[in-house]
Amino acid sequence: MGELIDPEAAYVYAIPMRNRFRGITVREGMVFEGALGWGEFCAFPEYGDREAAGWLATAVEQVTVGWPEPVRDRIAVNCTVPAVDSERAYALVAKSGCRTAKVKVADHPGSLGEDLERVAAVRDALGPEGAIRVDANALWDVDTAVDHLTRIDRAAGGLEYAEQPCRTIEELAEVRRRVDVRIAADESIRRAEDPLRVAVAGAADIAVLKCTPLGGVRRAMRVAAAAGLRCVVSSALETSVGLAAQLALAGALPDLEFACGLGTVTLFDGDTVTDSLRPVDGYLPVPRTPPTPDPELLQRFRHPDPERARWWRERLARVQRLLPVD
């Protein structure tokens, strides 16, 4: 495609995280304005240009054609519990207003004891009726996953599901056969050349959809329909500008049984917009149009390193050339 987005007109941001999450303490990305409002490009820096193209395609959809009509006007969300101590985990859940918690586990090789304490504290905070899901970010081998999930499930008083305990589809399928816990696939869908292999292989009970890396709301809806699995929509750690697309996906899916992982702006120590998409009483509204960044916030969180900002602009220019021509 031609240069739809001027890299020099985009804002490169760097927003601190409240706690280390997914191995990072500062979230970087870009926001830019198009015909229908603002979009966000924030593919993780370690991703290559071809993988990053899906992230940019989602932003282009947002600013050029918009989103499908929603079938619901609000989304139940889970609170997200990073790899923090049990006291902090309890406090995060207790003040969230959410009835579902997603708990990070497997933060380091010897983390099981900490994981058990964290999950038990979350159960105390939620009470017996709340739902707990865990996310290992594909860091376990099969035997470790089977052992740890069995023990974590017991500490949790029952898990709703475990997200991406292992890396490969084959490993997920084996874990699923050996544990009495539902398995959700995340990385195996969003980073796969063929996202539907997960369902075909019998590797998961639940598909975690992130429209940002999948290339947009419409493409994510096609993946959901073809996979035939129950779905959860989850954030890719965007600011409110990019998170709006995830909410648009959750709003447009025909069936949505589970709370979604979209309360992640609370993980940031700042945002690009004034009226952040933060849950109220465990829910987020489905937006009809993208939120508009606040100029003062764009200046406050402008990336302080000119060389790094240049890297992002050059990346945007390269990735844009990989998008298909209409």
- Cα–Cα dist 259/256, whole Å: 8
What is the residue extent of each domain of the chain?
7-67+294-320, 74-285
CA distances from 264 to 170, 229, 270 (A): 30, 24, 12
Alpha helices in the chain, H assignment, sequence order: 49-64, 86-94, 112-126, 142-156, 169-178, 187-190, 197-200, 211-214, 217-227, 240-252, 295-300, 306-320
- Cα–Cα dist 310/294, whole Å: 22
Is 124 assigned a ligand-binding role in the annotation?
no
Report the pLDDT averaged over residues 247-275.
Answer: 97
SS3 240: helix
Contact 233, 262 (CB under 8 A): yes
Binning pLDDT at 50, 70 and 90, where does residue 287 land? Answer: very high
- Report the candidate in 257, 235, 233, 266 with the shortest Cα–Cα distance to residue 81: 266
Report the pLDDT averaged over residues 281-295.
Answer: 97
Which range, of 147-161, 212-226, 240-254, averages the lowest pLDDT? 212-226
Burial class (CB in 10 A: 0-12, 13-18, 19+), 312: buried
Strand positions, DSSP E, the chain? 11-21, 24-34, 37-41, 74-76, 79-81, 100-104, 131-135, 161-163, 183-185, 206-209, 230-233, 283-285
- Cα–Cα dist 262/206, whole Å: 16
pLDDT score at 193: 65
pLDDT score at 212: 95
Two tokens at 18? 């409240």
Is 143 assigned a ligand-binding role in the annotation?
no
Report the pLDDT averaged over residues 208-223.
Answer: 93
* Model pLDDT for residues 175-204, shown as the tens digit of each residue: 999 999 999 998 777 665 666 677 667 889
Topology alike, domains 7-67+294-320 and 74-285? no
Q: Which residues contact 127 (CB under 8 A, 6 or more apart)?
A: none
Contact 269, 300 (CB under 8 A): no
Report the pLDDT averaged over residues 159-186.
Answer: 95
pLDDT score at 196: 64
- Cα–Cα dist 7/306, whole Å: 14
Domain formed by 7-67+294-320, architecture: 2-Layer Sandwich (3.30)
| Residue that has been written with the tokens 């302080």 in this structure | 304
pTM over 0.85: yes
Q: Which residues contact 212 (CB under 8 A, 6 or more apart)?
A: 42, 54, 55, 58, 236, 238, 242, 245, 246
| Residue that has been written with the tokens 């992982």 in this structure | 261
Binning pLDDT at 50, 70 and 90, where does residue 69 land? Answer: very high
CA distances from 162 to 114, 240, 247, 298 (A): 17, 26, 22, 36
- Report the candidate in 281, 291, 279 with the shortest Cα–Cα distance to residue 248: 291
The one-letter code for the residue type at 199 is A
pLDDT of residue 43 exceeding 90, the answer is yes
- Report the candidate in 320, 324, 322, 325 with the shortest Cα–Cα distance to residue 34: 320
Name the average pLDDT for the chain. Answer: 94
pLDDT score at 22: 77
Percent of the chain surpassing pLDDT 70: 95
Report the pLDDT averaged over residues 46-54.
Answer: 96
* Model pLDDT for residues 298-314, shown as the tens digit of each residue: 999 999 999 999 999 99
Domain formed by 74-285, architecture: Alpha-Beta Barrel (3.20)
Strand positions, DSSP E, 110-182? 131-135, 161-163
- Cα–Cα dist 117/191, whole Å: 31
Catalytic residues: 104, 210
Report the pLDDT averaged over residues 121-125.
Answer: 98
Contact 228, 252 (CB under 8 A): no
DSSP state of 265: G
Two tokens at 85? 């101590």
pLDDT score at 1: 46
